[in-house]
Structure 1
Amino acid sequence: MKPETAVLDIQGHYRVYTEFYRADNAEQTIILVNGSLSTTASFAQTVRYLYPHFNVVLFDLPYAGQSREHNRHERFITREEEADILLELVEHFACDIVLSFSWGGIATLQALARRPQRIKRAVINSFSPIVNPAMLGYLRSGLIVMHEYDRESIGMVLNGTIGKHLPSLFKRYNHRHVTSLEHYEYDQMSFHVETVLNNGGRSCVSFAGQIEIPLLFVNGEWDEYTTPQDARLFTQHVRHCEFRTIAQAGHFLDMEHKAAWMQTRDALLAFLLPSQPNRSHEAILEHALAG
């Protein structure tokens, strides 16, 4: 399973590295949106169960991963611009579905609020509409060490908070990755964090109400930063939403252990392929229609 890779010109401003996993018999294409400081590599476990049911698109934002060398990094990119990039990629690859992880949910919800005609369903993993006390503490701690470019402390903050339930191998990978980033990547993330803190929250509910397609929110039972309970607050704003809780899993869901990987796989495929027999009775019982 080797992807087709390309570096695409986006709006004449950015160059974006992409990976396209083409499945010969797939009828739909899904695009995956990274969380903060992440790259296409972070979705390795997710691609395993989405392919070959779907064609799968991965990409690195202009300041991250294999897009970095193709861009000049002269100014910060806003979440609105990230939504612009996502929508252009949706058109380029003719995507039908969007799946986001963690902070990728902000740009994803903004993009969906514009009602792109191609997108029929979306999955929002490890995200909630509020910044609770645990997340606030994580953001403030992260902001301090990123401002100081304290690489070792950045790795420790990540693995000691949202990454606490990861196996040791993935913790080592995370530490190696986040301690090797460029200063402008820390600055870009600090910019996003400060925007959230200055707004008193994620400010995503103001446009969540504009989304008309069905959404699935998936959260880990042990995730104290984007809790299943907090995620269910989206019922106040989103017209059609479902919720699944992954048992004995934290923020990183399918990366944490085999049982969590299988639960996440089953939840996503039941939602995205509802005509197939893997749509379980439990998933139907957890269905919630907002409004």
Structure 2
Amino acid sequence: MRPETAIVEIHSKYRVYTERYLNAAADKTIILVNGSLATTASFAQTLRYLQPRFNVVLYDQPYAGQSRLHNRHDQPIRKEDEAEILLELIEHFCADHVLSFSWGGAATLLALAQRPRRIEKAVISSFAARINQPMRDYLERGLGFLLARDRFNVGRLVNDTIGKHLPSLFKRFNYRHVSSLTEHEYLQMHFHIHEVLAQDTQCYVASAKAIDIPLLFVNGEWDEYTTAGDARLFAGHAPQCQFRTIKNTGHFLDLEHKAAWHDTQQALLGFLQPVSNPAKPKSQQQSDKPYRYAARERIAT
């Protein structure tokens, strides 16, 4: 199904490209938040099991994808700005749920701490409560390559670290995407990494304390950069949180192999729609079809 596309203006400052996949049988809407510098295309596999059950909204940050032609890029965008954009899109599309991936979780937690009235549940995937040493090493190496505009090594770094468990096809798409970013996207990525390294991650823990809806943290068993153990540090702070570890999977979860796609699907849908329905509507049956590769790029930092 083709999405409805639109450019949504945020506070007369940003213009955000959006895609909305409508489902006539669904009574809930979920909005998906990308990792750093990813695009709407990054959720191709996730969309396959969400769209049969929900209305699904995807969007590109102002500096990325199909949003970037509609915005000025005279200064970097902060996580607080991304949180404001998310809050406005939640209201605009009347979203009930949020799902974030990787560093999209930072803006998502900041937004949820403001207790948007519509949101009922949220899933935070591949995100942790602290910057561990592998993640710090990865980010610091990235800073140097970005500063030098070393496109070859930026692309290789992503695939050799957080993307190490991706199939070779997705590694090729990852490399092509990362190495072909515009100058302002490299500057944005450099700003973002510097912001992450300089900022006390306790701000995310503090945000979790203010969130009063159920949260599900999903991490890959093999992900050494945002580990399941580090994600569980949120347990003592978020009033209502659950945790799922996807076995034999790294940072990119449902992109890595068929079993990971199935297990991630079960974790998300079991949390968002916990009551099973024996008579499954035809519109929901396609989500049980086997995982298949798609020509999509996905990156995160």
TM-score bracket relative to the smaller structure: over 0.9
CA separation in 2, counterparts of 1:136 and 1:203?
17
CA separation in 2, counterparts of 1:33 and 1:60?
9
CA apart distance, 1:193: 1.1
Alpha-carbon displacement from aligned partner over 1:232-281 (angstroms, at most 9, x marks no partner): 00012100000001010000000000000000000000000012259xxx
Matched residue of 1:203: which SS?
A: helix
The structure showing larger relative contact order (alpha-carbon pairs under 8 Å, at least 6 residues apart) is 2
Q: Which residue of 2 aligns with 1:90?
A: 90
Alpha-carbon displacement from aligned partner over 1:9-29 (angstroms, at most 9, x marks no partner): 111001100000000100100
1:21 aligns to 2:21 (yes or no):
yes
CA apart distance, 1:192: 1.4
Q: Which residue of 1 aligns with 2:115?
A: 115
CA separation in 1, counterparts of 2:171 and 2:132?
24
CA apart distance, 1:201: 3.7
Q: Which residue of 1 aligns with 2:79?
A: 79
Q: Is the 8 A contact 1:32 1:100 kept in 2?
A: yes
Partner letter of residue 62 of structure 2? P
* TM-score, scaled to structure 2: 0.91
* TM-score, scaled to structure 1: 0.94
Q: Is the 8 A contact 1:34 1:102 kept in 2?
A: yes
Q: Which residue of 2 aligns with 1:10?
A: 10
Alpha-carbon displacement from aligned partner over 1:130-155 (angstroms, at most 9, x marks no partner): 00001000100111111111111000
Q: Is the 8 A contact 1:149 1:186 kept in 2?
A: yes
Q: Which residue of 2 aligns with 1:153?
A: 153
Q: Which residue of 1 aligns with 2:212?
A: 212
CA separation in 1, counterparts of 2:143 and 2:23?
41
TM-aligned CA distance change 1:155 to 1:202, over 3 Å: farther
CA apart distance, 1:202: 6.5
Q: Is the 8 A contact 1:45 1:255 kept in 2?
A: yes
Q: Is the 8 A contact 1:196 1:203 kept in 2?
A: no
Q: Is the 8 A contact 1:196 1:202 kept in 2?
A: no
Partner letter of residue 196 of structure 1? V
Total equivalences in the alignment: 278
Alpha-carbon displacement from aligned partner over 1:102-138 (angstroms, at most 9, x marks no partner): 0000000000000001000000000001000010001
Q: Is the 8 A contact 1:131 1:202 kept in 2?
A: no
- Structure 1: unaligned runs, 5 residues or longer: 279-291
Alignment of 1:142-221 (within 5 A): 142-201=142-201, 203-221=203-221
Q: Is the 8 A contact 1:106 1:202 kept in 2?
A: no
Q: Which residue of 1 aligns with 2:135?
A: 135
CA separation in 2, counterparts of 1:33 and 1:97?
11
| Larger mean Cα displacement after TM superposition, 41-50 or 197-206 | 197-206
CA separation in 2, counterparts of 1:186 and 1:126?
22
Matched residue of 2:124: which SS?
A: strand
Q: Is the 8 A contact 1:134 1:225 kept in 2?
A: yes
TM-aligned CA distance change 1:143 to 1:178, over 3 Å: same
Alpha-carbon displacement from aligned partner over 1:150-192 (angstroms, at most 9, x marks no partner): 1110000000000000000000000000111011111111111
Q: Which residue of 1 aligns with 2:31?
A: 31
Q: Which residue of 1 aligns with 2:52?
A: 52
Q: Which residue of 2 aligns with 1:106?
A: 106
Matched residue of 1:16: which SS?
A: strand
Partner letter of residue 26 of structure 1? A
Q: Which residue of 2 aligns with 1:289?
A: none
Matched residue of 2:210: which SS?
A: coil
- Structure 2: unaligned runs, 5 residues or longer: 279-301
Instruction: Give % identity.
Output: 62
Alignment of 1:221-240 (within 5 A): 221-240=221-240
Partner letter of residue 65 of structure 2? G
TM-aligned CA distance change 1:40 to 1:202, over 3 Å: farther
Alignment of 1:245-264 (within 5 A): 245-264=245-264
